[in-house]
Amino acid sequence: MHLKTMKIPDLTNYEELIAGFCGGAVCAVVCHPFDLLKVRFSANEGNALRPQYASYADAVRKIVAVEGVRGLYQGWTPGLIGASVSWGFYFQWYNALRTKINKDFSTGSEIANNFISGLLAGSAVQCFTNPIWLAKTRLCLQYETQKAKKYTGMIDCLSKTVQQEGFFGLYRGFVTGVIGSTHGSVQIVAYNWIRDKRCEAQGLPKDSFLKQTDIMLASSISKMLATTVTFPFQFIRTRMQDHNTDSRGIWRTTLKTVKNEGVLGLWKGCLIANVRQLPASVVVFLTYENVKRLVGMTKDQ
């Protein structure tokens, strides 16, 4: 009696979703400590109630001394969920929108079409992931110097936020998050442009599977560009979501920061953001491209 070989279902209609989900998950596992440092340095306006770190290395040393390595993974649960869901739906919706816009609503410029597709996909994702990112930010901002922490975890954070600030408290920083969707648009446009140029240089059809080094190059350059250009939006959102202060309103928070810390204060944490984003972007896109290729193979099963 012979067992029939199990047929793998065709998953190509969901290849972007699956690949993006896997890329986001791997990124959260590998890069969360960098994210924690980025959030803490962005939120630090010099308040004496916060621990003051002389450098990123000093921050790591002080956190680990009190809480162990586990302290570097505060906010990891919402970070994992947020990254997985965001990247999965972003890639799925971005590619669907790009196909639709190129076919029926083309601006005549592929770069413009890609930018619009990325902006719409990012804004849509932000609509249901904002509470997750708020929980991650607030959990990351529970310091090792505090005797009692306000939140025990993601669910407790979301629950207490609703109780104390109402449902819309979950959407603090939402507007800056939507505006900050330009980050994803800039990145995806730059990534696809570099990718297309590499395919062209190697005489390959557009959207061909490239070498791992080419994917790393495209993802690194596009992420550094997007992170640096749009960082103030991420910065303002972090401060607005911080439960340790009463930062309300985009304009008010921006003016207060510029007045007390100068214009460059809007880029506080940008260096560690780039340090974090470089490996994060490489991990996301390497995982995404390879998983997408594997899922694409199910069509022939």
Residue 284 gets the label, from left (phi > 0), alpha (psi -120 to 50) or beta, of: alpha
Backbone angles phi, psi at 48, to 5 degrees: -65, -20
Domain of residue 248, residue span: 12-300
Q: Is residue 224 part of a domain?
A: yes
**Tokens encoding 203:** 């005489």
Domain count along the chain: 1
**Residue 7 resides in a domain:** no
pLDDT at 76: 92
Q: Map residue 22 onto helix, strand or coil.
A: helix
Report how far residue 275's alpha carbon sits from residue 8's, in angstroms, rounded to the nearest whole number: 39
The whole-number mean pLDDT for each consecutive block of 10 residues of the chain, a chain of 301 residues, reads: 55 83 88 88 80 89 92 93 92 89 78 86 91 94 86 94 93 83 82 86 80 83 85 83 75 84 83 74 80 76 55
Residue 1 lies in a domain: no
Q: Is residue 104 part of a domain?
A: yes
Give 79's contacts (C-beta < 8 A, 6+ positions apart): 28, 32, 35, 136
Res 199: pLDDT: 86
CATH of the domain at 151: 1.50.40.10
pLDDT for 7 equals 61
Tokens (6 digits) for 174: 């939402």
Rounded distance between C-alpha atoms, residue 254 and residue 266, angstroms: 8
3 in a structural domain: no
DSSP class of 202? T
Q: What is the pLDDT, as a whole number, of residue 77?
A: 94
pLDDT at 247: 67
Closest alpha carbon to 130 in 193, 189, 68, 172 = 172
Q: Are 4 and 67 spatial neighbours (Cβ–Cβ below 8 Å)?
A: no
Long-range contacts of 49-58 (CB under 8 A, 24+ apart): 49/244, 50/143, 50/145, 50/244, 51/143, 51/144, 51/145, 56/272, 56/275
Q: Is residue 2 part of a domain?
A: no
Please give the model's pTM, rounded to 2 decimal places.
0.76
Residue 54 domain-assigned (yes or no): yes
Read off the pLDDT of residues 37-62 as tens digits, 9 standing for 90 and up. 888 888 887 777 788 888 889 999 99
d(CA 134, CA 220): 26
Whether 50 is covered by a domain: the verdict is yes
